[in-house]
Amino acid sequence: MTAVREALLVLADGTTFEGEAVGAEPPAGVASGEVVFNTVLTGYQEVITDPSYAGQIIAFTYPHIGNYGVSAVDDESRRPHCRGVIVRELARRRSNWRSDGDLDAFLRRHGVPGIAGVDTRRLTRHIRDAGAMPAAFGVADESTLASAAVTEPGTDGVDLVDQVTTTHPYTVGSGPYRVVAYDLGIKTTILTHLGRFATVEVVPACTPADDVLARDPDGVFVSNGPGDPATVPYTVDAIGGLLGEVPVFGICLGHQLLAAAMGGSTVKLAFGHHGGNHPVRRLRDGAVEITSQNHSFAVAEGSVPGSEVTHVNLNDGVIEGIRATDVPAFGVQHHPEAGPGPHDAAYLFADFVALMDVHR
């Protein structure tokens, strides 16, 4: 049996949690990042491999993580980009016919450190009250971890998209529509949805509008991604050059950048929305959708000229969707592709197809 390696988690405000080290060994026994909590009951592998978590440490509120192992087909990107994971109990034995490995080995293989045995209920309550904040964890001594937590910059003002976007264009899918997708940290499940109706050329986040229009697309998709939307002005400029020229659909960070290109602004939420059970009202008919979400920033209410709000979060009233009133463009803050999560909002891909049909 592997010996238990005692570890500590220290938040930037000095709050300390005891646990044991799991996953990869971080350099000098210290891993740091911004701690956020995620409320999914299943889908931990999809969460860990979502590039939107770059720069962040994921604390799972569900107490038992890893019980069904991991499977290569569930990866949402080539590798995890998160800084680490925090769990109450890491399963010592996997039990699922689909699994081809266990979570601890998966973390070690990808160089992702973790800490288990943490009182995640206390941690979640603290973040909910104090807000997401930088932290450090590992097997180093408490003073070293406290210093690392205080000096960790977090995600504000850091261009994390540049760390996760593709470096070269590539194509997926073989559908009849031609779609250019901006990769800000795009998930595999999104590409699967788009590929069902389109031939999708995925391009780097810094691709200028002229280069996209030269590809003669029927529509442009702007993906999810990590961090502060204010650090991605190059994509905002590109979207501005596309509006009115071709239909645009944005998800999560893509929705925020669409709003910015239309003249809007964003704000950072206290602890963000991370989970698979967020209720959203669709304003066109009052229907309530249960959605998958992963974002720390949101579009500021009343800040986007030439638009109407299409969806709102029923937990806190945050804007969940906008539609341009003078050009073919819309975006949603939540994730209609799920992966993991419910599929209530999957119709939005059909809305994108309908928009392309009108302007094709």
Answer yes or no: are the C-beta atoms of 335 and 311 closer than 8 Å: no
DSSP annotation of 2 reads P
Q: What dihedral do alpha carbons 149, 152, 153, 159 form, nearest 10°?
A: -130
User: 3-state DSSP call for residue 38?
Assistant: strand
Residues 6+ apart with CB under 8 A from 78: none
Residue 335 designated active-site? yes
Which position among 81, 273, 334, 335 bears the catalytic label?
335
Answer yes or no: are the C-beta atoms of 224 and 185 closer than 8 Å: yes
Q: How many CB atoms lie within 10 A of CB 148?
A: 23
Which position among 82, 252, 255, 311 bears the catalytic label?
252
Residue 337 designated active-site? yes
302 class by beta-carbon count within 10 Å (0-12 exposed, 13-18 middle, 19+ buried)? exposed
Which position among 46, 76, 152, 337 bears the catalytic label?
337
Q: How far is CA 76 from the centre of its chain?
A: 10
Residue 252 designated active-site? yes
Distance between CA atoms of residues 132 and 271, nearest Å = 5
DSSP string, 114-174: EEES--HHHHHHHHHHH--EEEEEESS-HHHHHHHHHH---STT---HHHHS-SS-EEE--
**Residues marked as catalytic:** 252, 335, 337
